[in-house]
Structure 1
């Protein structure tokens, strides 16, 4: 009941008013201290747009670690509760699939941070993670597929608030990452996935939400996507937009991130970096030189194909998980359609920014 209420962004007093009971009664229902009558259950189902059976079928919840949100100040508690509730239902569906299909074994490395980790410590962890996941050198072709192949469940959130970034947690022994499909940008999706991988690898036992852990995940993602020993020789020594565009396509990293990396590595002076940020701010979001659609997960699609091949229908999985069809639709949704790729060096693609270049 708590999950359903949070999924629909209802406060207890609001739900109590809709159903015709007291807020204290709602609290008692959710804590298992009182049992609602059949009539109240029907009203709850109607108010929360869930089937009555959802409240009748008991599902033990796997223990989860706290979710790492990019910025707690950027989102409301209701927004966070909503996406966490959705994620719990999504993982319930994944558990139903795992009754019939063997998903890839989770084999993410686990790193224990020293008491006061330095940037060098984080870089070493990122390098070890690349090696552990089978990436020796060069760009990672597809970050999300790499994580999925090593047992991470990556799913997309329903189209909702732009303020909710990707987040991650451990659901029992399974690592889970949830992406926002409204962030329709390839470099952004790759960085978000790498950022969450950093949390899963480094911060399993740490409380989320601190600026320190978020900065550590940022540093991890930067090194994970483009190791210093490689990218430092490729970054231009001057503010060369065309060269940065080439590196954006090669490494799948935004120009903004590349400029930040050049500054952090001492290649760009403060004045050069500020000039780059001013120009990028004028260009707005999305930045120029589109390199194609965002990365999307495929593991659940493949798992559903296996289920169909062995005679396990979607209806069976839905019933096993005790979910509404509409919820399953959202769990399995691909999201917004992929946009056609654009040649970053085409005349039309660059025309609007030619004066800056």
Structure 2
């Protein structure tokens, strides 16, 4: 219970300055619908909706109930370090059909919270300004070469020299894109991206340990950020546009057309795989897309991949996945001048567990976020917060 005088003051302040959008985030992070939250705090769904749309302020005792139920400190409900724009962004998930709305809400809320962490860190360190060109591509456009044009535009804008693209995550961060790993509990949601008015953000799947596929994921999500700012996510056309963008970004036609074999020359393909940092499957797909390899040859090559088990694990040593460094380096710098993780987490208004996950170079594998008050998760959503309300000093 919130029993100390200091905690009571916090609850009172949170009641007076309550921001309903923060309640929405906390509810989504723990994987609850409005009616489920209403039942837990003994309020009506209408009341919860009123709290979230800021037409009604919860009383201090209700704020305390919300804290206990959602596993956050009272300060979480004050306006966050950065504010969403008037029209909330829609994240680009790979497949809307295979991802529940609850899971998408949970993943997006985590992305927004990662922006809160970044905004707090930027009070003390300077990050690169976002530097991302825009070339809007119609969501029904299946025939033009605009996705490839968008990739060429980005290469020119970022002054990427000819040849293989180097460390793609570091390159994106250098141009002001936030790249973070999601919690392992949300691994059912693949990589996704959005631009919420703070910074363009790419959230990577923490369980994907394939260097080559992760690089393609990052290129794919950058494609969404360049082409699909206002587009509805999830359609096959939109996803195919992002795939084509990624292929042109990592494997430019003017460089690869003369290098790709017309037959399944595995030695040549393996050499290109190592040089350009893409999978054999991506090279085969690119060869067919550019008309270098016939459809029949492509299908036979893919069948051979499958027969060898290479579609799951391609031959050769697997490099470690590319790691984010923007947030982790900022934390290291601040710790070197005496700002510890706990104080930075408090300033970000998140739990230490969430802070560690957002700012990690490596995916956090530990089960850090289970709420001890919650024994089951509705519809596959995973609770992310451990309750810290009973222990405001932790």
TM bin (shorter chain): 0.7 to 0.9
Structure 1 position 202, deviation (Å): 1.5
- In structure 1, the residue matched to 2:123 is 99
Equivalent residue runs for 1:246-325 within 5 Å: 246-282=271-307, 283=309, 284-325=311-352
Provide the TM-score with structure 2 as the length reference.
0.80
For the residue of structure 2 that corresponds to 1:154, the secondary structure is strand
Task: Name which of structure 1's ranges 149-158 and 44-53 shifts more when overlaid on structure 2.
Answer: 44-53
- Out of 3, 11, 17, the residue aligned to residue 39 of structure 2 is 17
- Out of 209, 222, 241, the residue aligned to residue 266 of structure 2 is 241
Structure 1 position 311, deviation (Å): 4.3
Query: What CA distance in whole angstroms lies between the structure 1 residues aligned with 2:37 and 2:286?
Result: 49
Structure 1 position 70, deviation (Å): 1.4
Structure 1 position 35, deviation (Å): 2.8
- In structure 2, the residue matched to 1:343 is none
Q: CA offsets, 1:46-101, max 9 Å, x none?
A: 2212223323x232623253211111112111111111111111101101111111
Query: What CA distance in whole angstroms lies between the structure 1 residues aligned with 2:363 and 2:227?
Result: 31
Task: Name which of structure 1's ranges 160-169 and 249-258 shifts more when overlaid on structure 2.
Answer: 160-169
Task: Name which of structure 1's ranges 178-187 and 158-167 shifts more when overlaid on structure 2.
Answer: 158-167
Structure 1 position 245, deviation (Å): 1.7
Provide the TM-score with structure 1 as the length reference.
0.87
Query: What CA distance in whole angstroms lies between the structure 1 residues aligned with 2:195 and 2:42?
Result: 37
Task: Name which of structure 1's ranges 123-132 and 112-121 shifts more when overlaid on structure 2.
Answer: 112-121
Q: Which runs of 5+ in 1 are unaligned?
A: 339-357
- Out of 35, 51, 59, the residue aligned to residue 37 of structure 1 is 59
- Out of 52, 55, 80, the residue aligned to residue 104 of structure 2 is 80
Dislocated runs of 4+, deviation >6 Å:
none
Structure 1 position 152, deviation (Å): 0.8
Query: What CA distance in whole angstroms lies between the structure 1 residues aligned with 2:248 and 2:152?
Result: 7
Structure 1 position 108, deviation (Å): 1.6
Number of equivalenced pairs:
337
Query: What CA distance in whole angstroms lies between the structure 1 residues aligned with 2:161 and 2:142?
Result: 24
Equivalent residue runs for 1:1-357 within 5 Å: 1-55=23-77, 57-59=78-80, 61-63=83-85, 64-113=88-137, 116=141, 118-172=143-197, 174-282=199-307, 283=309, 284-336=311-363
Q: Is contact 1:159-1:335 (8 Å) kept?
A: no
Q: For CA contacts below 8 A with separation 6 or more, give which structure has more relative contact order.
A: 2
Query: What CA distance in whole angstroms lies between the structure 2 residues aligned with 1:160 and 1:134?
Result: 37
Q: Which runs of 5+ in 2 are unaligned?
A: 1-22, 366-394
Query: What CA distance in whole angstroms lies between the structure 2 residues aligned with 1:94 and 1:211?
Result: 32
Structure 1 position 128, deviation (Å): 2.2
- In structure 1, the residue matched to 2:13 is none
**RMSD (Å) for aligned C-alpha atoms:** 2.2
Query: What CA distance in whole angstroms lies between the structure 1 residues aligned with 2:296 and 2:67?
Result: 59
Query: What CA distance in whole angstroms lies between the structure 2 residues aligned with 1:77 and 1:61?
Result: 22
